[in-house]
Chain A
Amino acid sequence: MASRNIPIKYTEIFINNKFVKSIDGKVFSVIDSANEQKICDVQEGDEADINLAVEAAKNAFRFGSPWRTMDASKRGSLMYKLVELASRDKDYLARLETLHNGKPLAESQADVEFSIGCLRHYAGWADKIHGSVIPSDGPHMTITRKEPVGVVGQIIPWNYPLLMTAWKWGPALATGCTIVMKPSVNTPLTTLHMAALSKEAGFPDGVINIVPGRGSTAGNALSKHMDVNKIAFTGSTAIGKKIMKVAAETNLKRVSLELGGKSPLIILPDADIDEAVSFSQDAIYVTMGQCCSAGSRTLVHESIYDEFVKKSVEAAKKRKIGDPFEKDVNHGPMVSEKQFKRVMSYIETGKKEGAKIETGGNRWGTKGYFIEPTIFTEVKDSMEIARDEIFGPVQLIFKFSSMEEAFERANRTYYGLAAGIVTKNIDSALMFAQKVQAGSVWVNCWNSQRPQTPFGGYKESGFGRDLGEEGLNNYLETKTITIRVPQKNS
């Protein structure tokens, strides 16, 4: 295995621009899932630490504070500075990401570029958030102010730790909010490094605070806190529901959720089969299937089905599994033992339910949480593996005879995060784009989220959008101001 000579600089809770230990002294271990070795210990935050962090964020947000009185363009300048520093450290960040997450280094490098692009995009929005001047009835001048919503809690997952940090910080900082972020206990390290960079960039004390910890303790504390004005969560649908419930029970903090998916990719008969196979493989195997927007249901027209399955099996077998730091490896381990067990259990379920394994289905090697790229066919829509989000490298290939049938089946799910279609036919593409109940529709591509494109779910995949101008809406509160005037003129 390649040497892991990656110095870990930041392993503590970050509050008011200082790294501090947890109040009760707890720590948790971060594991390298490629070799099952401990990387380091990190301070574990609980409710008391969350309370301190929220206090700091609230103070940084008080009326008259440096952050509140700062020019909007200056918020943008600080963000551009953060971009500069992240670019300076991008090689280190990519390696650190692969170390604690397990994804191939090339994927981490792409994540770093996307993260930088996202922060850059939002740096540009800072001084472009406009309210309105409204011709209201009566002798009035009516304007709307778009204010930052306030102290925002941000709970991010382990599959794209750095990217999710950027997706959340971007709009929050551009709009002028202050942040308490809880990264996953699986993958806190790149977020903590970014925290250090934010201090170096010059963000005032308390604008960004990071409390690594568990969902049931730190996450729960954040969700119920009476001084947190808004919570943003990316993770499973089950936890998303809990968070929404807790928010309602406490102070009605605004909620945005980016949850799971069981996204369909439809291959029409006029598709180029090689291209379609390539898309569908990327759609399911990127990050070893640990992607909310994974294309986990591939629906193929019966006329090209057999060839598609054959070529998919060939392509899956060609994936190079191994140490994610090694060149040419494009398939790493699952993020943790727990996730590994969960996916293996679904594979067993699939076999028991009567689906056919075309390739894979086993653990790879004896050390590290590796699962072979797996393909199931003869899957019925009613099977558990067809309905539940597996979150692993398990492709399900379904057959359909008519386009209408495919579109119907695409929508038969509680989820609605993404959907794709491979076809040259403009009518088919546009009809699908209208009909499918998904927040992102990809035509002849997959995972085309970019800093500019809003992303989020229909139905139980969540609500609210990340990225683009829309991403700002989660972090704004509209205040309508009406001034009586002696006489209104148009």
Chain B
Amino acid sequence: MDASMRGYLLNRLADLMERDRTYLASLETLDNGKPYGISYTVDVPGSIKVLRYYAGWADKNHGKTIPIDGNYFAYTRHEPVGVCGQIIPWNFPLLMQSWKLGPALAAGNVVVMKPAEQTPLTALYVAQLIKEAGFPAGVVNIVPGFGAAGAAISEHMDVDKVAFTGSTEVGHRIQQAAGRSNLKRVTLELGGKSPCIVLKDSDIATAVDQAHFGLFFNHGQCCCAGSRTFVEEAIYDEFVERSAEKAKQKTLGNPFDLRTEQGPQIDEEQMARILSLIDSGKQEGATLLAGGGRHGDKGFFVQPTVFADVQDNMQIAREEIFGPVQQIIKFKDMDELIRRANNTIYGLASAIFTKDINKAMYLSQGIRAGTVWINCYNVLGAQTPFGGFKMSGIGRENGEYGLEAYTEVKTVIAAIPQKNS
């Protein structure tokens, strides 16, 4: 098949998702619990954009011709890796499916995908659209299942590559399975405990808004959530007060009600875990300023929670909570800041709020994270690579970089009678 035809099919799929966007957004909210307004304006369009972006790459994945020493004609072919196992999470089911299918299919691979057991429905509907778009049989296969299905993919001798988005804990297991079996290529997009840094010269209202958004978006169920908010001493008290106020004003409820800002957590297990971590915060002596418990008694709702006076060694400052719990931490000087921001096993994202260009440059160089946001948060695009330093993962998704994991490079060297430049 012409590479450009692969692109054409991806654009067809995007067209069909566009056609069915109302249904897809409804199904996503039903399955996941995120507010319908968000499914409709963020998740579905975001998924479509990523597919269209990669549709454009399909016939642009260039190998090179290379001036090797000797009488040879040398070039590289960029080939598809082959059979790609893709294991995706429950927090952004549709979006994660597109992030995975886009580059894999653009580069000519075939896919076996395991959606999360909590949220298989939009992935399965898209499977039907894939058939309708005209992809040949067997190019995309979807197997809903639990961890065992994921393990089967990771251990399989005929799977050439596995891509996983989920917890760091499972990420370890997948990489080990790959090593034990056939050395399948591995990319991982895992957890985070991302620092959101607010300097005293920033616009406080914007910083409070963005830091809040950076933590509470998707009910805190974001790998890149800004879950350690470092605020400079001089503005600390005002920042804390405003943040607590903002958290208290949030509307929780039925995600299909357009007034709802925060829906339920994904399931009982996650809710219990979050509540347990909140308890640890209370016990370790952090100051609770908003929320602190379950909301209502039906549905897995957790109150938007704000902790101040959080110390670096508290559990809530070190472990990924994956819920609507904000930790606000005080700092005094810039040098300790980089050390403390980097003092984590994770390295997924970070943000810096400041007007000072020198401080922005300095911190953005020093922070060990795959994404640095300056005066904004959670800005993600199909065009920009995303992924983790350290134990937040391996490899990058989106952008041109996203093609690398799905490309295997073959070098071809042909002898010729005489080489000329």
The 15 sampled A-B contact pairs (Cβ below 8 Å) are A73-B52, A73-B53, A80-B11, A124-B55, A124-B58, A128-B57, A128-B383, A426-B414, A427-B416, A427-B417, A430-B73, A431-B417, A431-B418, A485-B362, A488-B365
Q: Which of A77, A120, A128, A435 contacts B420 (CB 8 A)?
A: A435
- Total count of chain A residues near the partner, CB < 8 A: 31
The answer on a CB contact under 8 Å between A451 and B4 is: yes
Q: What distance in Å separates the Cβ of B132 from its nearest Cβ neighbour in chain A?
A: 18
In whole angstroms, what is the CA distance A77 to B56 when docked? 11
The verdict on A487 contacting chain B, using a C-beta distance below 8 Å, is: yes
Q: Which of B49, B56, B62, B73 contacts A124 (CB 8 A)?
A: B56
The answer on a CB contact under 8 Å between A451 and B417 is: no
Which residue of chain B lies nearest to A140 when distances are taken between CB atoms in the complex?
B361
The answer on a CB contact under 8 Å between A430 and B361 is: no
The verdict on A291 contacting chain B, using a C-beta distance below 8 Å, is: no
Within 8 A of B (CB), among A27-77: 72-73, 76-77
| Chain B residues, CB < 8 A from A130 | 400
The answer on a CB contact under 8 Å between B400 and A452 is: no
The verdict on A123 contacting chain B, using a C-beta distance below 8 Å, is: yes
Chain A 110-122, CB within 8 Å of chain B: the 1/0 string? 0000000100110
The verdict on A489 contacting chain B, using a C-beta distance below 8 Å, is: yes
Interface centre among A76, A434, A451 (most CB of B within 10 A): A434
| Chain A residues, CB < 8 A from B49 | 73
Tell me whether A487 and B362 are in contact in the complex, defined as CB-CB below 8 angstroms, given that A124-B7, A430-B73, A430-B416 are known contacts.
yes
Within 8 A of A (CB), among B372-421: 382-383, 400, 414, 416-420
Q: What distance in Å separates the Cβ of A419 from its nearest Cβ neighbour in chain B?
A: 15
Q: A125-B56, A430-B414 are in contact. List 11 more A-B contacts (CB 8 A).
A: A73-B382, A76-B56, A117-B4, A121-B4, A123-B56, A127-B56, A128-B60, A452-B4, A469-B62, A485-B358, A487-B362
| Chain A residues, CB < 8 A from B62 | 469
- Total count of chain B residues near the partner, CB < 8 A: 31
Within 8 A of A (CB), among B36-64: 49, 52-53, 55-60, 62
The verdict on A486 contacting chain B, using a C-beta distance below 8 Å, is: yes
Chain B 282-316, CB within 8 Å of chain A: the 1/0 string? 00000000000000000000000000000000000
Chain A 456-490, CB within 8 Å of chain B: the 1/0 string? 00000000000001000000000000010111110
Q: Which 10 A-B pairs have the closest CB atoms?
A: A124-B56, A485-B361, A489-B365, A430-B416, A434-B420, A486-B358, A452-B59, A127-B383, A486-B362, A427-B417
The verdict on A106 contacting chain B, using a C-beta distance below 8 Å, is: no
Which residue of chain B lies nearest to A80 when distances are taken between CB atoms in the complex?
B11
Within 8 A of A (CB), among B312-368: 357-358, 361-362, 365-366
The verdict on A141 contacting chain B, using a C-beta distance below 8 Å, is: yes
The answer on a CB contact under 8 Å between A489 and B382 is: no
Q: What distance in Å separates the Cβ of A487 from its nearest Cβ neighbour in chain B?
A: 7
The answer on a CB contact under 8 Å between B60 and A469 is: yes
Within 8 A of A (CB), among B1-49: 3-4, 7-8, 11, 49
The answer on a CB contact under 8 Å between B56 and A486 is: no
In whole angstroms, what is the CA distance A142 to B7 when docked? 34
Which residue of chain A lies nearest to B383 when distances are taken between CB atoms in the complex?
A127
The answer on a CB contact under 8 Å between A486 and B361 is: yes
The answer on a CB contact under 8 Å between A483 and B400 is: no
The answer on a CB contact under 8 Å between A485 and B56 is: no
Tell me whether A73 and B383 are in contact in the complex, defined as CB-CB below 8 angstroms, given that A80-B11, A431-B418, A489-B365 are known contacts.
yes
Tell me whether A121 and B59 are in contact in the complex, defined as CB-CB below 8 angstroms, given that A430-B414, A431-B416 are known contacts.
yes
| Chain A residues, CB < 8 A from B52 | 73, 76-77, 80
| Chain B residues, CB < 8 A from A80 | 11, 52
Q: What distance in Å separates the Cβ of A489 from its nearest Cβ neighbour in chain B?
A: 5
